[in-house]
Amino acid sequence: MRDKSLHSKVSKGVSRRGFLTGTGSILGAMALSVNTTPAHARTARAAAADTPIASGAHVPVLIIGSGYGGSVAALRLARAGVDVHLVEMGMAWDTPGSDGKIFANTTKPDYRSYWLRTRTKAPLSNFLGFPIDKDVPRYTGILDAEEMGGIIVYQGRGVGGGSLVNGGMAVTPRRQNFSAILPTVDADEMYTTYYPRANAALGVGLIDPNWFETVDCYQYARVGRKHAQRSGFPFVFVPDVYDWDYMKQEVAGTVPKSAVAGEILYGNNAGKKSLQQTYLAAARATGKVTISPLHRVTTVSPSGGGGYTVVIEQLDTTGGVVARKTVTADRVFFAAGSVGTSKLLVRLKATGALPNLNDEIGRGWGDNGNVMCGRANHMWDPTGKVQASIPCGGIDNWDAGGAFAEVAPLPTGIETYASFYLSITKNPHRARFTWNAAAGRVDLDWQTAWKQPSIDMAKTIFDKINSKEGTIYRTDLFGTNKIWGDHLTYHPLGGAVLGKATDDYGRLHGHPGLYVIDGALIPGNTSVNPFVTITALAERNIEKIIATDL
């Protein structure tokens, strides 16, 4: 059924071509089927207390990690009648701190903000020449800035995984790019069934384009659009899982502010439909899903009596291990994210716990071509003191220059005259995770210099805009005199690639009953922000697994 109100919002005032290709039909077909209660009203209800898993337990299905892949698997298995236990190493994020809020503001990081660090590690390390990182107490906070050799990989930690910290940009790749992303997957099936299913369940929606034109907090995006279009680049609106009606009320001052108060990187106290409010709320509603937060899986190995023995560490909020539990599971789903799943599998293969895994384990890892930059605008082009932290548009130069650039906010609370962008590019480099026996850890062989192709692709957009506008790059955001944010990624992908480390549905080769169902399956790039593709692929794979394996 078409959602007429959404469709008419899309058509009114803005040409349909202004929206990202490939999403219009999906949005037309979608309904917010999982939960339509405003997000701010739901957090408490979604957070029913769980009894953590007990040592010695036997469960039919154990899922490692509660991000997109894990949440899809939990919901669909539970609805098929299977009891599921979700093991998540991060916190539940259902209890307010002493300030009455669950999550810290982006501009005021505190103990809740970082995963087991004593100093913040913000993606933008400097501002106007000053370093902005500061000391914080070590705590099992929400954002992990994991330093992996030549790259810092940002990841969400907690029940809901990356959905807790991300910008909620819910982008379906253009159909013509799909075969390069997942060559062995039937694109027709994805675009007619699984992308629409994922978008509906995630609660994806579009900004009201008329409101966009008028509201102060998107001035930065309108400036971004103007500069793109004046240089001949298409600007497209991008769907998001943020509750756009809630944001209108934030601007009107009738509800507590979240996006408009700059909340994003360390969690949104309202407005955002994270997995806690969508897939996980629906999964809990089945009564068949139990979640153990602050539990970290360390080992999976075949158990003598069939199934798998899983060793789990229970953590306290300083990261200390308070208990070690051994359980058995008939089936185990690896949904610990691209890095988490890859690191586990590489170690388990190398140390002999899962000896039959094949040599593809750990290969095919990429950064989704992420690279950041800022531009300094003229004084007559202010980008706004108050910037909504949820991006709503981007520059689609994928065909001409191999880059899709999200027009991102800089929610500092002051006028910066800066335009800021996260580009997603066609970076060809792929890294490999390997076991470092001497150090007892998994290494990744990514090299910082491998970002150069991404920088070159981003330059096809921003050099042209700078020359047209008579502007320059900001050099104060990632250090001193450093233009490019080439040291990080928000979008780790690969490490247990579909059709290589697994069969075409995520079944790991060599060990029946073990599955991968997260971003590790995707070989390094999705051409756009990845979570809709991770969700849609998980929907496709779990449907097959339920039909044939259970």
Q: For residue 209, which phi and psi values (nearest 5 degrees)?
A: -65, -30
Closer CB to ligand FAE, 64 or 542, in the complex:
64
**Neighbouring C-beta atoms of residue 385, cutoff 10 Å:** 14
State in angstroms the smallest separation of the CB of 348 from ligand FAE: 11
Closer CB to ligand FAE, 148 or 336, in the complex:
336
State in angstroms the smallest separation of the CB of 533 from ligand FAE: 8
7 belongs to the catalytic site: no
Q: Which residue has the tokens 């997109």?
A: 68
State in angstroms the smallest separation of the CB of 161 from ligand FAE: 3
Closer CB to ligand FAE, 72 or 386, in the complex:
72
* 155: enclosing H helix or E strand: strand 151-156
State in angstroms the smallest separation of the CB of 52 from ligand FAE: 12
State in angstroms the smallest separation of the CB of 470 from ligand FAE: 31
Sequence-ordered list of residues with C-beta below 8 angstroms from that of 39, at least 6 positions apart, any chain: 243, 246, 270, 271, 272, 273, 274, 277
Give residues in contact with ligand FAE (CB under 6 A): 64-69, 87-90, 154-158, 161-162, 165-169, 265, 296-297, 335-338, 340, 344, 490-491, 518-519, 529-531, 534
Q: At 518, which amino acid appears?
A: D
Q: Which of 85, 227, 491, 511 is catalytic?
A: 491
Instruction: Compute the distance between CA of residue 361 and CA of residue 432 in angstroms, rounded to an integer.
Output: 9
Q: Which of 406, 487, 511, 543 is catalytic?
A: 406
Instruction: Compute the distance between CA of residue 269 and CA of residue 279 in angstroms, rounded to an integer.
Output: 18
Look up residue 511 and give its two tokens: 């060990």
Look up residue 342 and give its two tokens: 């890859």
Instruction: Compute the distance between CA of residue 66 and CA of residue 291 in angstroms, rounded to an integer.
Output: 9
Starting at the edge strand that comes first in sequence, how are the strands of the sheet with 488-489 ordered? 143-148, 151-156, 488-489
State in angstroms the smallest separation of the CB of 230 from ligand FAE: 26
Closer CB to ligand FAE, 251 or 264, in the complex:
264
Cβ–Cβ under 8 Å, residues 254 and 246:
no
146 belongs to the catalytic site: no
Spatial CA neighbour of 295 closest among 78, 58, 63: 63
Instruction: Compute the distance between CA of residue 335 and CA of residue 68 in angstroms, rounded to an integer.
Output: 8
Instruction: Compute the distance between CA of residue 178 and CA of residue 439 in angstroms, rounded to an integer.
Output: 39
Closer CB to ligand FAE, 272 or 464, in the complex:
272
Which ranges constitute the DSSP H helices of 416-503? 452-469
Q: For residue 393, which phi and psi values (nearest 5 degrees)?
A: -160, 170
Q: At 322, which amino acid appears?
A: V
Closer CB to ligand FAE, 156 or 464, in the complex:
156
Closer CB to ligand FAE, 242 or 471, in the complex:
242
Instruction: Compute the distance between CA of residue 147 and CA of residue 137 in angstroms, rounded to an integer.
Output: 19
SS3 letters across 201-235: HHCCECCCHHHHHHCHHHHHHHHHHHHHHHCCCCE
State in angstroms the smallest separation of the CB of 435 from ligand FAE: 16
Q: Which residues are catalytic?
A: 406, 491
